[in-house]
Amino acid sequence: MSEHELRIALPPWVAEVVEWTRPYPDDDTRMRLAITLAAENVRRGTGGPFGAVIVEEETGRLLSIGVNRVVPENNSILHAEVIAFMMAQRRVGSYTLGAPGLPAHTLVSSCEPCAMCLGATLWSGVRRLVCGATREDAMGARFDEGPVFPQSYRYLEAKGIAIVRGLLRDEARAVLESYAATGEIYNG
Amino acid sequence: MSEHELRIALPPWVAEVVEWTRPYPDDDTRMRLAITLAAENVRRGTGGPFGAVIVEEETGRLLSIGVNRVVPENNSILHAEVIAFMMAQRRVGSYTLGAPGLPAHTLVSSCEPCAMCLGATLWSGVRRLVCGATREDAMGARFDEGPVFPQSYRYLEAKGIAIVRGLLRDEARAVLESYAATGEIYNG
C-alpha cells in the first residue's frame, strides 16, 4: 500500500452477526440490527458505540452496514454512517443511492447523525433517515455532535428526505451508556 | 479486496504537482497549492473542482493533500477535505491532529467546506481553517453546500478553531466556473 492510499475494512466479526440474505422489512427490524452492530462493536472492542444500516425501502434488502471505526483506524471520518454510505455506493456503482433506475434507500442509524454524517446523508442519495438515540443521549455519553440545528433537519426535509427520530431510543441509548462507562471518548 | 473493504487512493498525477519537501510558510502559498490541486483535478478529468491541503501551522510542513474524487470513485464522501483529513491522520497515527504532542495544524481548502466537511473539520483536530471560494461561489457553480449556517462557523470557533474566509477568492472561484461549464455536477 502506497503512502497516498488508504484501506478501509469492516471488522471480521460482522460476517458472524449480519444476516445478508434475509429481508429487513420494517424500521424496528432495521433499527435492531443497527443497535446490535453498535453493541457488538463495543463488546468486541472494535470502535465506538454506533451502528448504521442501509436498506432498500420497499424490499427490505440489506445493502450495507457500518460501525464506528474512529479509534482503531486512527481516522475521525470513519463514523458508522460514513462507512455504510461508502460501502453502499460501491455496491450499486454510483456516487448517489438516488441515481436513476435505483430503488429508494433508507439509512437507519443507532444515533442521530453528527454534523458530518448529517451532511453526508444529504449527499448519499438516501430518501429516508431513521434514528434511534438522540443528540442529547450522545452528549450525555460525552460525545459532541457538532453544529446540528433544527434547521439542519429542515434543510434535508426540504430536499425530499423523510426523517424519523427516537425509534427504539431506550435500547439505542443503553449502548451509548455502556460505552461511556469505559470506552475512549473522541470528539469529547 | 473483499466485498467489505474499500481502497482510497489519490490520482497518480499528484506526485508530479505537489512538492512535499518544500515548506508552505504562509496562507497565500498554501491556498495557491489548494487551488492548483483543484484546477489540475478538473484539467485531468479526475474529479470535481476542489482541493485541500493540511500543513503544520508553525513550520509550514505539508502533511497531506486531497482532491475531490466523488464521481470517479463513485463515493459521495470523498470530498477534498475528507481525503486530506484521512491521509493526515494516518500519517500522524492519531484520529485527531490535535493529539497531545502534535504541532498545531491548519486546513486550507479551495472552497468553503460543505456541511459534511465542516463537521469533519471539527473532528479532525485542526486548529485553523482557511477557505478560498465561498458558499455562494459554489452554489453559483450549481453545487449544493448543505445545511451550513452562520452559527455553524460560530460553533467551530467556540471550540477553538480560527477561521479565515475568502482568501484568493477570485482565483478559487475561477476553477469552480471552469468546471461548471462542462463537468458533472453531483449534489446539484
SS (H, E, C) B68-80: CCHHHHCCCCCCH
Q: Do A95 and B86 touch (CB under 8 A)?
A: no
What mean pLDDT value characterizes chain B? 95
Query: Chain A closest CA to B89's CA: distance in Å?
Result: 6
CB-CB neighbors (< 8 A) of B14 in chain A: 4
pLDDT by residue (tens digit) across A18-66? Answer: 999 999 999 999 999 999 999 999 999 999 999 999 999 999 999 999 9
pLDDT band at B3 (very low <50, low <70, confident <90, very high): confident
Radius of gyration, CA atoms only, chain B:
15
Does the pLDDT value for residue A182 go beyond 60?
A: yes
Query: Does residue A155 belong to the interface with chain B, where contact is any CB pair within 8 Å?
Result: yes
Supply the angle between the helices B27-43 and B80-92 in degrees, to the nearest 10. Answer: 120
Identify the active-site residue in B81, B145, B171, B184.
B81
pLDDT by residue (tens digit) across A116-152? Answer: 999 999 999 999 999 999 999 999 999 999 999 999 9
Report how far residue A70's alpha carbon sits from residue A65's, in angstroms, rounded to the nearest whole number.
Answer: 16
Q: Do A70 and B95 touch (CB under 8 A)?
A: yes
Of B151, B66, B20, which is closest to residue A77 (Cα–Cα)? Answer: B66
Is the Cβ–Cβ distance between A115 and B118 less than 8 Å? yes
User: Mean pLDDT, to the nearest integer, of B135-159?
Assistant: 97
Of A115, A95, A92, which is closest to residue B76 (Cα–Cα)? Answer: A95
What pLDDT sits at residue A2?
Answer: 67
In angstroms, how far is CA A58 from the centroid of its own chain?
A: 19
H/E stretch holding B163 reads: strand B162-164
Q: Locate A116 and state its grid cell.
A: 458530518
Report how far residue B101's alpha carbon sits from residue B104's, in angstroms, rounded to the nearest whole number.
Answer: 9
Identify whether A81 is a catalytic site residue: yes
* Alpha-carbon distance values, A66 to A18, A86, A89, B48 (Å): 11, 9, 13, 26
Q: Do A77 and B70 touch (CB under 8 A)?
A: no
What pLDDT sits at residue A187?
Answer: 64
DSSP state of A113: -
Query: Chain A closest CA to B154's CA: distance in Å?
Result: 9
Query: Does residue B181 belong to the interface with chain A, where contact is any CB pair within 8 Å?
Result: no
Q: Do B76 and A115 touch (CB under 8 A)?
A: no
pLDDT band at A180 (very low <50, low <70, confident <90, very high): confident
In chain B, residues 98-117 whose CB comes closer than 8 Å to chain A: 114-117
pTM of the model: 0.96
In chain B, residues 22-61 whose CB comes closer than 8 Å to chain A: none
Q: Locate B111 and state its grid cell.
A: 472552497
Residue B109 dihedral angles phi and psi, to the nearest 5°: -120, 140
Is the Cβ–Cβ distance between A57 and A106 less than 8 Å? yes
By percentage, how much of chain B surpasses pLDDT 90? Answer: 93
Nearest to B151 among A73, A144, A147 (CB): A147
In chain B, residues 58-77 whose CB comes closer than 8 Å to chain A: 70-71, 73-77
Q: Is the dihedral of CA A80, A81, A84, A85 positive or negative?
A: negative
The string of DSSP codes covering B11-55 is -TTHHHH--SSS---SHHHHHHHHHHHHHHHHHTTSS-S-EEEEE
User: Mean pLDDT, to the nearest integer, of B10-36?
Assistant: 97
Does the pLDDT value for residue B188 go beyond 60?
A: no
